[in-house]
């Protein structure tokens, strides 16, 4: 066997053994390994959302795997375990941020053994962890793909409850929508990400991060898109290849935006954005200029040639076009 095969075999075996010992709720909670026969130019690690499960990233994980990436979707600490969880017996979610930070760094190291460059991404609390890694290791992280990062709630009252109340909270899942993972949690477990989110906002003001794609939705009732914009503007000062997009409210894209099963009938849109960004070297200034001219009716090929941007564009032309049209719609 090659060294690459030895590494991947050992990683999968070790992870499977740990998860078997924990006793998982179902297969949706098992870590995902979408691996090419050999090490790849790029590897992506996706961290699922708070209380959720790796299945949340099946669709985008497969899209990146089909594009030639090695893809890791690990089960977050304390998540996915079988049990009769309730107010008297809450699920064993960490209440110490260092547990998540050590976990994130371990998976960054795992990814580095599988390819040349590593992207990290996530949703909600998983996105917060990815943002922390992008700030903590800006030279080791090639890109950050941040979907609806949890930096705070949608209003001060919600934040006050998270900060001060040690209550048990149950999610309200809409009829016909799948909810991966736990149905409830003890509030101090969420407080970890609120505190980490504030640290991220503070650090982004004074130090560079890896390039970031930050994706919000105006239809998201769980997190504050204004703080997503604040993070974007802070990061952009140091890193011109950061991008930001907020989906229009009329699309009704929810907080859990990664799958149709969780209620996003436009789940292809965040996937297209992520693929275009991962493969592009366009700066934010270039991407907005491109989008403005596309909105004015100019042809894609003409703009690219005149601005001499062809080498910087994503080779995934459909994803790139979808991304530019989304941005052009915002400008309109």
pLDDT of residue 201: 96
Question: Does pLDDT of 187 surpass 70?
Answer: yes
Exposed, middle or buried, 258 (CB in 10 Å: 0-12/13-18/19+)? buried
pLDDT of residue 159: 65
| Token pair of 269 as six digits | 């849109």
Question: Does pLDDT of 186 surpass 80?
Answer: yes
| Dihedral, CA of residue 36, residue 8, residue 109 and residue 26, to nearest 10 | 90
CB-CB contact of 124 with 220 (8 Å): no
pLDDT of residue 170: 85
Which of 111-115, 138-142, 275-279 shows the lowest per-residue confidence on average (mean pLDDT)? 275-279
CB-CB contact of 193 with 163 (8 Å): no
pLDDT of residue 295: 80
In the block, tokens 């952009």 appear at 236
pLDDT by residue (tens digit) across 238-287? 999 999 999 999 999 999 999 999 999 999 999 999 998 999 888 999 88
Which of 58-67, 110-119, 277-286 shows the lowest per-residue confidence on average (mean pLDDT)? 277-286
What are φ and ψ of residue 119, in 5° steps?
-105, 145
pTM of this prediction? 0.94
User: CB count, 10 Å around CB of 87?
Assistant: 11
Rounded to whole angstroms, the Cα distance separating 54 from 71 reads 12
Rounded to whole angstroms, the Cα distance separating 207 from 218 reads 28
pLDDT of residue 171: 85
Rounded to whole angstroms, the Cα distance separating 6 from 3 reads 5
pLDDT of residue 86: 94
Handedness of CA 80, 212, 45, 277 (dihedral sign): positive
Rounded to whole angstroms, the Cα distance separating 165 from 126 reads 23
Domains and CATH numbers, the chain: 3-279 (3.40.50.1820), 282-332 (no CATH)
User: CB count, 10 Å around CB of 276?
Assistant: 26
pLDDT confidence tier of residue 328, bands split at 50, 70 and 90: low
| Dihedral, CA of residue 150, residue 151, residue 153 and residue 159, to nearest 10 | 130
Q: Three-state secondary structure along 22-45? A: HCECCHHHCCEEECCCCCEEEEEE
Question: Does pLDDT of 141 surpass 80?
Answer: yes
pLDDT of residue 46: 98
Read off the pLDDT of each residue in 234-241 and give the average, rounded to a whole number.
97
pLDDT confidence tier of residue 309, bands split at 50, 70 and 90: confident
Question: Does pLDDT of 290 surpass 90?
Answer: no
pLDDT of residue 299: 84
Question: Does pLDDT of 190 surpass 80?
Answer: yes
Q: What string of DSSP letters covers 136-198?
A: H-TTTEEEEEEES--SS-SSHHHHHHHHH---EEE--PPTT----S-SEEEHHHHHHHHHHHH
Share of the chain above pLDDT 70, in %: 92
H helix intervals, the chain: 3-22, 58-66, 97-112, 125-136, 156-164, 187-204, 225-238, 268-279, 284-295, 300-306, 317-331
pLDDT of residue 252: 92
Q: Count of residues for the chain?
A: 332
pLDDT of residue 100: 98
pLDDT of residue 221: 85
Rounded to whole angstroms, the Cα distance separating 136 from 131 reads 9
Buried/exposed 233-253: b ≥16 CB within 10 Å, e otherwise: ebbbeebebbbbbbbeeebeb
């Amino acid at each position: 066997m090659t060294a690459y095969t030895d590494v991947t075999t050992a990683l999968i075996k070790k992870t499977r053994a740990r998860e078997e010992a924990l006793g998982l709720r179902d297969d949706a909670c098992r870590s995902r390994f979408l691996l090419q026969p050999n090490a790849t130019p790029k590897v992506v690690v996706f961290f699922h959302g708070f209380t959720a499960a790796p299945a949340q990233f099946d669709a985008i994980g497969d899209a990146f795997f089909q594009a030639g990436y090695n893809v890791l979707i690990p089960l977050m600490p304390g998540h996915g375990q079988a049990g009769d969880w309730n107010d008297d017996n809450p699920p064993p979610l960490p209440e110490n941020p260092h547990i998540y930070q050590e976990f994130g760094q371990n998976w960054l190291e795992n990814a580095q053994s599988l390819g040349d460059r590593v992207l990290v991404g996530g949703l909600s609390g998983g996105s917060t962890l990815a943002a922390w890694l992008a700030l903590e290791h800006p030279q080791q992280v090639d890109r950050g793909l941040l979907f609806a990062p949890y930096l705070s709630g949608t209003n001060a009252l919600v934040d006050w409850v998270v900060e001060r109340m040690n209550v048990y909270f149950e999610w309200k899942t809409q009829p016909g929508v799948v909810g991966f993972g736990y149905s409830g949690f003890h509030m101090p477990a969420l407080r970890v990400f609120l505190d980490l989110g504030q640290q991220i906002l503070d650090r982004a003001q004074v130090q560079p991060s890896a390039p970031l794609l930050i994706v919000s939705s105006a239809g998201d009732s769980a997190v504050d898109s204004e703080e997503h914009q604040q993070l974007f503007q802070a990061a952009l000062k140091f890193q011109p290849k950061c991008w930001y997009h907020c989906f229009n409210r009329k699309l009704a894209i929810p907080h859990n935006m990664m799958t149709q099963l969780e209620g996003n009938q436009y789940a292809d849109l965040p996937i297209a954005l992520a693929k275009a960004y991962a493969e592009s070297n366009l700066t934010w200034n270039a991407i907005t200029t491109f989008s403005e001219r596309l909105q004015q009716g100019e042809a894609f090929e003409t703009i690219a040639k005149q601005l001499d941007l062809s080498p910087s564009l994503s080779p995934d032309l459909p994803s790139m076009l979808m991304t530019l049209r989304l941005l052009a719609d915002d400008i309109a």
